[in-house]
Amino acid sequence: MQLKAPGSATDPLCAAIEADGRDVKALFRRSQALQQLGRLDQAVRDLQRCVSLEPRNKAFQEALRALGSSMHDKVGRAALGMLARCGCMKAMSCTDSKVEQMFQILLDLEEKDADKKQKV
């Protein structure tokens, strides 16, 4: 399936996932389409599901790590811009620390989702 039109690509993938919630190929491809649409939180959720279904799959682990890193960079740049505009540069180190902690919790493959939600 080509992802040149990611919005239309998610429809058949959603149908495949609805038919079989353990279809890691469809979950992985939908996560790629969601990334292209900028729906990163949903893409992470699909990748986390892939990793939980196939915890030894290095491709899924690496994709999740890369997406987490990309999200971290994006959040960091946005936070820096907001802090610079309001003159709150001192708060940046605190914000960076909290964001870093949240991503470490999110990307921890050993921890259960319920525990992650409670910590975040």
pLDDT tens per residue, range 61-116: 999 999 888 877 776 666 656 655 665 555 445 666 777 777 777 777 676 666 65
Cβ atoms of 60 and 52 within 8 Å: the answer is: no
Task: Write out the two tokens for 55.
Answer: 């915890």
Cβ atoms of 10 and 33 within 8 Å: the answer is: yes
Cβ atoms of 27 and 17 within 8 Å: the answer is: yes
pLDDT for residue 48 is more than 80 = yes
Helix locations, the chain, DSSP H? 6-19, 24-37, 40-53, 58-86, 90-106, 113-119
Task: Write out the two tokens for 6.
Answer: 């990611």
pLDDT for residue 3 is more than 70 = no
Q: Looking at per-residue confidence, does 21 or 100 come out higher?
A: 21
Q: Looking at per-residue confidence, does 90 or 55 come out higher?
A: 55
pLDDT tens per residue, range 74-89: 766 666 566 556 655 5
Task: Write out the two tokens for 116.
Answer: 């992650």
Task: Write out the two tokens for 119.
Answer: 């910590």
Domain ranges in the chain are 6-119
Under CATH, domain 6-119 is a member of which superfamily? Answer: Tetratricopeptide repeat domain (1.25.40.10)
Angstrom distance (rounded) from CA 119 to CA 66: 22
pLDDT for residue 2 is more than 50 = no
